[in-house]
């Protein structure tokens, strides 16, 4: 398994957590992780055993996840940041270093989503 694959999978995993489970104390069964990841278009048709393997590699590296009694508990909330150098979006917890996931730059700001009609011309 390549580092690039793992890094990409971690980004998608953080994206799912941010969008749907980003609440401290949120919990779900560990065996639901594969189904959760298959909701993402990128992994919709990927074999479940391969996703399980990716999860086994990525989960230990995430500081926001706590395992307890076959459950996954979200221990911290994620914030979305955008790198000023490469414009990449990163999902970073409050206790993690503010660093771009792609280029490792520390030149990042909190990402503010603006609807199209709110953007000034």
Q: Are residues 51 and 15 in the same domain?
A: yes
List pLDDT tens digits, range 23-68: 888 888 888 889 989 988 899 999 999 999 999 999 888 888 888 8
Q: Are residues 34 and 84 in the same domain?
A: no
Q: Are residues 32 and 64 in the same domain?
A: yes
Q: Which residues contact 94 (CB under 8 A, 6 or more apart)?
A: 76, 77, 79
Domain with 40 in it:
3-74
pTM confidence score: 0.84
User: Count of domains in the chain?
Assistant: 2
Question: Which CATH number goes with the domain that contains 88?
Answer: 2.20.28
Q: Are residues 62 and 96 in the same domain?
A: no
Q: Are residues 99 and 47 in the same domain?
A: no
Report the distance separating Cα 114 and Cα 21, nearest Å. 22
Residue 3 structure tokens: 């580092």
């Amino acid at each position: 398994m390549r580092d690039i694959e793992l890094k990409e999978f971690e980004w998608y995993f953080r994206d799912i957590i941010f969008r749907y489970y980003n609440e401290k104390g949120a919990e779900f069964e560990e065996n639901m992780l594969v189904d959760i990841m298959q909701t993402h278009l990128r992994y919709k048709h990927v074999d479940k055993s391969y996703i399980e393997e990716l999860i086994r590699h990525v989960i230990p590296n995430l500081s926001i996840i706590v395992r307890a009694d076959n459950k996954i508990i979200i221990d911290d909330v994620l914030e979305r940041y955008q790198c000023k150098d490469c414009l990449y979006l990163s999902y970073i917890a409050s206790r993690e270093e503010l660093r771009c996931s792609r280029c490792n730059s520390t030149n990042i700001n909190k990402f503010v989503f603006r609807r199209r009609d709110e953007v000034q011309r």
